[in-house]
Amino acid sequence: MKIPRIFDRFFAGIAPGAAYEHACRLLEGGEAARGFALLGQMARDGMPQAQFRVAQAYLDGLGTAPSVPEGARWLRRGAQAGHAESCFAFGMLFLLDIAHDDPARAVLPGGDAPPVPGHDPVEAMRWIGRAAELGLPDAQALYGHLLSHGPEDMRDPTAAQRWSTAAAEAGCAQGYLGLGLARLHTDAAAAMDALQMAADEGLGSACYVLGMLHETGQGGTVDLVAAARMYQQAAEQDIRPACARYGMALLRGRGVARDVLRAETWLRRAALQGDREAAIVVGDLHARGIADMASDQEALSWYRRAAQAGRADACRMVAVMCMSGRGLPAPDPGAAARWLRRAVACGDDAATADLAAVLDTMTGDPDPDTTRDSDAGGHEGRDEHHALMDGFARAADAGDPVAAFNYAKCLLEGFGHAPDPARAAHWMLHAARAGVVNAQYWYGRMLLGGQGVAADPVAARHWIAQAARDGMAEAQAAAAQMHVTGQGGARDHGAALALYHQAARQGLADAMFSLGAMYGGGHDIPADRTQAQHWFTQGARRGHALAQLMLGRYLARGLAGTTDPAQARTWLRRAHAQGVAQAAQDLARLPGLSAPEAMPETAPNTAPDTATTPDGPSGAGAARATQ
């Protein structure tokens, strides 16, 4: 044990440079404590490079306990002695603020110790600039970047290009990158050449910038193949935005063969590094069943990751999944409300209306004295209802037509306050005249039922027809029912049939049932029981109880040419389970059926000819039909 220590002292005394190299080998080669002790002595004796290595050891915790204050103290000594690497590293402390969480940040030990560096771009530039002047290429490259993109009052594009050029001439890849970025707006060809030099040196960030230029055509022409190749090279070096862009290129087949599995892999990598947009895309892949092993649980976890990072649209998607129970054991309106609140807090004003709707489903009873759900419970829940409604009112007064519609709905349904149909009608008309489709439909319903306004079927038909022309499925079904009954105008079964078809194409089960009823006979269109059974089947599959009843009857009696008692029993039981009493009678007759009955029973109606509302049990009207 004595021989090595005697050798250390002898070596240090005769050859300081060789002793320094010897101490560094010890520090990095398994005898870190001995190496650190030797370097510490040299640092105290004033050797700048030893001071730099001691600082590194303190910052890395190599051969000694980690200490940011001690690291900063020795970097400062080396920097004041004109050691380029020390100047550069000391500047980086100010730039990166690595001491932010250090408990000893306030004061360094020793009388000559300054405070531990905090984030200070001005001091960072001063020390990095000194390192650049001392000829350190990495410092020259960074100094050029800071002069180009640093604090506004310290920018100097001309000096930035000069320092980037100096770094590039020294063979520094970062210098080529800085030079390329500096030339982007003045000489695209020269910028591309410099960036390519940096990319050829393996600098991932340069590959990423080149990919952007190829994709957008800023470098001269759009080249999606080159863009994808550059993004891949950058992604393989874990450049986060490149992972996301390469993933999107693979997903869309832009410049590279489409490969959803590889796309998800790269998008996941970007998302795990904090890319919120990539997390949303991965969530979408799973929610839409596009991913290789799509899962609602996966979709929810990725949406939640982006939502927790502050993406308002992701908060909304989490809320939607919570309301439907996708990815969860059961629907969770309380969680949906919490995520919609976060969406509002993140700046998504439209989420306010969704939040109001969710809270309304949670409370159920508009009576302000009724106890609320625990998530929006008691006085707190009522206060939130009032706040939402008051927000709609202010926005409506300011001229926002969507807010006017939401405010009208709150007034109509007693959300947050007692119902006020008259004021609801005023604001609903205001929104309808401004072109809000939902408001046109709802104002038509209010005119039809005389809610807050004198009943006027003609005007009701006008507004509902307007919403139907704008593509609202519920309005199309309601307008069709008015054509069937002649409410507010002439009967027109042909027009009704066309409107029901439009609504059915949008997936509205009520319209599918009504088409079945119209094709079944009894209307001013040719009967077609094959078409009738087709549409009853479509509605039944979407859970429409009366469509299930009629499909059961058709299959039991062979009304469209095919008898299937087993399937008939299945659909009749489903209808009965949803409360359709007539289904019990049909089920009781099933064992005795042997042939189609000569006079089938009348199909149930969701809205009689004298209806004052176009809505049936499921929300939209249905044609009267005889089967």
Q: Does residue 157 have a pLDDT over 50?
A: yes
**Residue 67: its pLDDT value, please?**
87
Give the closest residue to 281 by CA, choosing from 293, 296, 295, 271: 271
- Which one is predicted more confidently, 244 or 394? 244
Query: Is 129 among the domain residues?
Result: yes
Query: Is 420 among the domain residues?
Result: no
For 403-440, write each residue's pLDDT tens digit: 888 888 888 877 667 789 999 999 999 999 999 898 99
Helix, coil or strand: residue 22 = helix
Among residues 134, 156, 186, the one where a domain terminates is 134
Place of tokens 């997903």: 251
Residue 16's domain spans which residues? 1-134
Average pLDDT of span 331-348: 81
Among residues 134, 163, 187, the one where a domain terminates is 134
- Which one is predicted more confidently, 624 or 146? 146
Q: Does residue 8 have a pLDDT over 70?
A: no
For 92-114, write each residue's pLDDT tens digit: 888 765 444 443 333 333 334 44
548-582 burial, b for 16+ CB within 10 Å, e for fewer? bbbbbbbbbbbbbeebeeebbbbbbebbbeeebeb
Query: Which CATH number belongs to the domain containing residue 49 in this structure?
Result: 1.25.40.10
**Residue 592: its pLDDT value, please?**
55
Q: Which of 158-172, 326-340, 434-448, 541-555 comes out lowest in average pLDDT?
A: 158-172
Query: Is 400 among the domain residues?
Result: no
Structure confidence at residue 132 as a pLDDT band (50, 70, 90): confident
Query: Is 397 among the domain residues?
Result: no
Average pLDDT, the chain: 80
**Residue 496: its pLDDT value, please?**
94
Query: Is 595 among the domain residues?
Result: yes
Count of helix runs (H) and strand runs (E) in the chain: 32, 0
Query: Is 165 among the domain residues?
Result: no
Q: How far is CA 214 from CA 238, 258, 302, 354, 579, in A?
A: 20, 19, 30, 41, 63
- Give strand pairing partners of 602: 626
**Residue 371: its pLDDT value, please?**
35
Q: Does residue 605 have a pLDDT over 50?
A: no
Query: Is 546 among the domain residues?
Result: yes
Our count of domains for the chain comes to 2
**Residue 514: its pLDDT value, please?**
95
Among residues 70, 104, 134, the one where a domain terminates is 134
For 477-524, write each residue's pLDDT tens digit: 999 999 999 999 999 999 999 999 999 998 899 999 999 999 998 888
Place of tokens 């707006």: 185
Query: Is 497 among the domain residues?
Result: yes
626 φ, ψ (degrees, to nearest 5): -110, 125
For 33-60, write each residue's pLDDT tens digit: 999 999 999 999 999 999 999 998 988 8
Q: Does residue 1 have a pLDDT over 50?
A: no
